[in-house]
């Protein structure tokens, strides 16, 4: 069964460093998402991406964040200068169509900022 994959599974970084989180969505999917979950809290939407551009973003997704689809398979989230409060689990998700009922999540990247 096709699945969303994410790398790395864990990343530890120093405050102020840049990190890039990588995702490979399901191959025929067209809508891509990033969510984050701070430890013990609910999952929060960051950004959605369609047709090579951001379609929607939350207030969390400020200028420190960017997303890119550098080739036909990868979908990346970059945090330019990490802060302690960026420590969280980051989930990538994808869906085939906008109205499709199932949004498939990757296993997540656990980011720790020291």
Partner 1 sequence: AQKITQTQPGMFVQEKEAVTLDCTYDTSDQSYGLFWYKQPSSGEMIFLIYQGSYDEQNATEGRYSLNFQKARKSANLVISASQLGDSAMYFCAMREGLGGTSYGKLTFGQGTILTVHP
- What are the phi and psi torsion angles at 24 (to 5°)? -120, 105
Tokens at 93, concatenated:
């998700």
Contacts (CB under 8 A) with partner 1, residues 9-68: 31, 33, 35, 41-45, 48, 50, 55-56, 58
> How do beta strands 19-24 and 43-50 pair?
unpaired
Q: How many whole angstroms separate alpha carbon 40 and alpha carbon 23?
A: 23
- For residue 44, the minimal CB distance to partner 1 (Å) is 7
Distance between CA 33 and CA 26 in Å, rounded? 12
| Least distance from partner 1 to the Cβ atom of residue 1, Å | 12
Q: Which is nearer to partner 1, 11 or 103 (CB)?
A: 103
Supply the minimum distance, in Å, between the C-beta of residue 105 and partner 1.
4
- 78 interacts with partner 1 by CB under 8 A: no
Q: Which is nearer to partner 1, 108 or 113 (CB)?
A: 108
- Check: CB of residue 4 under 8 Å from CB of residue 104: yes
Neighbouring CB atoms inside 10 A of 108's CB total 21
Binding site for partner 1 (CB under 8 A): 31, 33, 35, 41-45, 48, 50, 55-56, 58, 89, 91, 93, 95, 98-108, 110
């Amino acid at each position: 069964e096709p699945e969303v994959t994410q790398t790395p599974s864990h990343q530890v970084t120093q405050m102020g460093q840049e990190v890039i989180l990588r995702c490979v969505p399901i191959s025929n999917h067209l809508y891509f998402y990033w969510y984050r979950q701070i430890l013990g809290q609910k999952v929060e939407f960051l950004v959605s991406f369609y047709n090579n551009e951001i379609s929607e973003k939350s207030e969390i997704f400020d200028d420190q964040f960017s997303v890119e689809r550098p080739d036909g398979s990868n979908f990346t989230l970059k945090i330019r200068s990490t802060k302690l409060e960026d420590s969280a689990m980051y989930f990538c998700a994808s869906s085939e169509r906008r109205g499709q009922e199932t949004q498939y999540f990757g296993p997540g990247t656990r980011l720790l900022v020291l």
